[in-house]
Amino acid sequence: MILEIAFVFLTLLLALYMVRHYVFTLAVLYRSKKQPPENKDEKFEPRVSVLIPAYDEENVLGRLLQRMCELTYPKDKLQIIVINDASRDKTGEIADEFAKKHGFIKVIHRDHVNGGIGKPHALNEGLAHATGEIIYCFDADYYPKRDIIERFNVHFRNPKIGAVQGRVTVLNEPVSLITRLVALERIAGYRVDQKAREDLGLIPQFGGTVGGFRSELIRALGGWDCNILAEDTDLTFRCYLAGYKVRYVNDAESYEEAVENWRYYWSQRSRWAKGHMQCAFKHLFNFIKSKNLRLREKFDGLLLLNIYFVPIIVLLAWIVGAALYFSNPNFWFLSLWALVPLSLYSAVGNFAPFFEIGIGAYLDDRSRVYWLIPLLFITFFINIAICTKAFIELFGSKLMGKKQFRWKKTLHNGYGNNYMECLRKK
């Protein structure tokens, strides 16, 4: 009886996430033909600061800094802050060369005693030197549109908007199978998942890069929490708890250099999983009790906070379901089992269900990527292992009183430079 109740509960949870993704997909399809164009003629030009944390990024930093020099935003209102986070390569030298030529670029060098211990530490160091009303963040491997600041800024005219997030697409997509699969995840995660949450008035997520915050808000919140591995998700929920909203801006695009092998995919997603779970433990009850949120925002926020537990729920449903299957199953149980593969179909990859990717590719006019969709089962099974291991390690650290995990950076080889020529004029 206990196993049957557990199986029903787990299956219903999976079905809930399945319905959520169906709703998101249909909402984006419906809105795609009714979406009013953004008013790009409306100007709002406060002083802005762009923080670029960089740890051993000699392969990609020069590309981003060159793009910062090409931004169409007035340079007298632009401050670029590169935080050389105790790099062991030529990152600092590259940044210094740009700073010598361009007065709006400032370089902060962190030593090996205080630096190299994580992105949140570097961002807090940069924040202390930022003078802008709006603080934007770009990871060193990104390459944004030239007018991305203007596309973001217009939304800050609304005093209720505390943060904005742009769309991320993959620059080095043709390099390997894993970069192609990550590109599919990004299509679903941004073109459909984030866009739907924006259109439905739910909880768009700040992604830690290609976006920014009001300076007064980030300072009032005390900067980035250095004990959280997913500092971006943490800031998203702290923003909403403080009474502000996050806007997702689909036409504010930036390219990223995705991980190129399974080893770095595992490392990156392990950090994301642990960090997201940390945020769930930190914000869950405060989010439920908050008076600054509408009911639908709370509901979506709870599902978002627990998204990295979904692969674990699938694993548990398989285990419990298998145990019940071999112990005289009745008709209702067999009927309920049918929901498991259907729910699995809705949860493949990282925020990347099959139908979200299919619709996202359709809206982007990228039908040639459809043949890759079945291969996302690979990433889903890997994510089951990643999330299960992350939960066990996080639970173990709680028992041992450990508060901080070691930050593991993602290696960027700079292979995305091979695909730059067609992007330089965008």
pLDDT in tens, the chain (426 residues): 787 788 778 888 888 888 888 889 899 988 876 555 555 556 789 999 999 999 999 999 999 999 999 999 999 999 999 999 999 999 999 999 999 999 999 999 999 888 888 899 999 999 999 999 999 999 999 999 999 999 999 999 999 999 999 999 999 999 999 999 999 999 989 999 999 999 999 999 999 999 999 999 999 999 999 999 999 999 999 999 999 999 999 999 999 999 999 999 999 999 999 999 999 999 999 999 999 999 999 999 999 999 999 889 888 888 887 787 777 666 566 666 666 655 555 554 455 567 788 888 888 888 888 888 888 888 888 989 999 999 999 888 877 776 666 777 777 777 666 666 556 555
Hey, CA dihedral for 190, 300, 408, 53, is it positive or negative? Answer: positive
Query: How many angstroms separate the CA atoms of 327 and 323, rounded?
Result: 7
Three-class SS of residue 110?
A: strand
**Checking phi first, is residue 146 left (phi over 0); if not, alpha (psi -120 to 50) or beta?**
alpha
Per the structure block, which two tokens stand in for 7? Answer: 């199986």
Query: How many angstroms separate the CA atoms of 118 and 158, rounded?
Result: 32
- H/E stretch holding 215 reads helix 215-220
Reference 246, options 303, 289, 208, 299; nearest CA is 208
Query: How many angstroms separate the CA atoms of 240 and 230, rounded?
Result: 16
**Checking phi first, is residue 116 left (phi over 0); if not, alpha (psi -120 to 50) or beta?**
left
Per the structure block, which two tokens stand in for 365? Answer: 């006019």
